[in-house]
Amino acid sequence: MLSIKNLTRARTPQIPFEAIAADALGSDYELSLVFIGNTRSRSLNKKYRGKDKPTNVLSFPLSKNEGELFLDLAIIRAEAIRAGEAFIPYLAYIFIHGLFHLAGHDHGSIMEKKERDLLESWHAKLSPHST
């Protein structure tokens, strides 16, 4: 189950978040997805990670089958532009990255392969022209 809350002025991106999350975490996982801006991102990152700067994604596993993801759309959009990537596929990648952190994976080759595989399976369904 997925609940989405948009705390920004930006339009909620149209990505099949629930289906992607089910592929990564299973259909029984309860996920709260919150879109935030730089101020809240920075505050949460400082409080929970000791880093005094905004970040693209924060993952908070609450239990084996429940967690929260916070996505900073402004940071993600800026990163996509710098990387020369379309916003929607890049957002999907960051979302998937956060999902695998919720699943207990740390950065490394195993997590990168899982991210690549899942993103590849969804790539054709994501419109690169969406903003």
Residue 24 neighbours by CB under 8 Å, 6+ apart:
96, 99, 100, 103, 114, 118
Cα gap 122→120, rounded to integer Å: 5
> Of the candidates 15, 18, 10, 33, which has an alpha carbon nearest to the alpha carbon of residue 130?
15
**Domain limits of the chain?**
2-123
What's the pLDDT band for 131 if we cut at 50, 70, 90? very low
Residue 13 neighbours by CB under 8 Å, 6+ apart:
35, 73, 87, 88, 91, 130
DSSP state of 88: H
DSSP state of 128: T
What fold characterizes domain 2-123?
Collagenase (Catalytic Domain) (3.40.390)
Give the model confidence (pLDDT) of 83-126 as tens digits. 999 999 899 999 999 998 898 767 777 767 777 877 777 776 66
